Amino acid sequence: MFPLPLPATAGGASVPSVNVGDVENTGIDLALTYHTNISKDLKLSVTANVTTYKNTITAESQSSNYFDFGYSRDNDIVRNQVGHPIGEFFGYQTQGIYQSNSAAATGATYAGAAAGSFIYKDVNGDGKIDGNDRTFIGNPNPDFTYGLNLNLSYKHFDFSMVLYGSQGNKDFNYVKYWTDFYSTFQGGKGLDLYNKAAVVQNGTVTNPGATLPAASYSQALGSSTVSSFYVEDGSFLKCRVASLGYTFDPTLLKSIGFDKLHVYIQATNLFTLTKYTGLDPELVPSLSNNGTGNNQSAAFGIDYGAYPNNQKQYILGLNLTF
């Protein structure tokens, strides 16, 4: 079910949700648990699970075989098309930075291309870069997700840990629009941006290792263009919870009127292992806007700068039974 796209002239009424097509989902869900007594006092319990799935859009009820959503300041970020998975990113493919004006003037080019501009792939091979060169640039659906629950006890001590991970998913780091380009909100830019941006003198880039375009307002394609520049590996492994506790001997507690006393220290989101450069690779769906005032859909895998879900917390607690 997706909210039906409506023109701005429809007013402020709620947008109806409609069925827009069919999706085929396949995959496996596997869980294994292992218990063992390593010694008389040392006990171990481990539960591991893995889930794989593949979804494919098989039919759409639209006039074409696709529809777009996922708000950006240029084109929509996502294209849902028959034969592809739900939520796949759609845009231009970047292939580096032009190192000179002469290089930018040859081959496939676009208005405003110059030394220090992005190089975009000429997907259809017509010698120019335009909307026909947009293509699928990343899948937010993971190859698989997995988890591991570990429980260990030794005499009066207990330890538990919950790990969760996702592998193979891509994230669209739209926060870069505000942080990595000179032309967007110049105030408050960090030194890291200027160290990575191309520096152009006499039509030539003087720092060939630059990964960001030179400061410019003139490019027809640039900071607001949906491209693979924003797509990153969103795979991660998180420690959801880790806890260490101690249970006092009941015979010692009875003299003071207690039946059970368990003290513990617990940490949540203790660590996140990822290559993603944003605050949190685990991106929850967020409502996107199609520019007409209508929320189109819940777009997943797109980082609009939402408050992260991986803040560390430490808890000291006790469980007391009279």
What tens digit of pLDDT does each residue of 72-89 get? Answer: 877 899 999 999 999 999
Q: CB within 8 A of 293, min separation 6: which ones?
A: 8, 12
Q: Do residues 45 and 112 share a domain?
A: no
Cβ atoms of 198 and 191 closer than 8 Å: no
Same domain, 142 and 16: yes
Domain count for the chain: 2
What pLDDT does residue 83 have?
A: 94
51 and 121 share a domain? no
Indicate if 231 and 216 belong to the same structural domain: no
pLDDT band at 120 (very low <50, low <70, confident <90, very high): very high
Q: Given this model, what pLDDT does residue 51 score?
A: 97
Residue of 175, 209, 174 whose CA lies nearest to 195: 209
pTM of the shown model: 0.86
End position of a domain, from candidates 222, 246, 276: 222
Domain encompassing residue 197: 93-133+181-222
Q: Are residues 256 and 270 in the same domain?
A: yes
- Asked whether residue 72 falls in the same domain as residue 108, the answer is no
Q: Do 262 and 127 share a structural domain?
A: no
Q: What is the per-residue pLDDT for 181?
A: 81
**The two three-digit tokens of residue 247, written as one number:** 């249970």
- Specify whether 215 is located in the same domain as 73: no
Q: How big is the chain by its Cα radius of gyration, in Å?
A: 26
In which band, very low, low, confident or very high, does the pLDDT at 128 lie, cut at 50, 70 and 90?
A: very high
Residue 201 makes CB contacts below 8 A (sequence gap 6+) with none
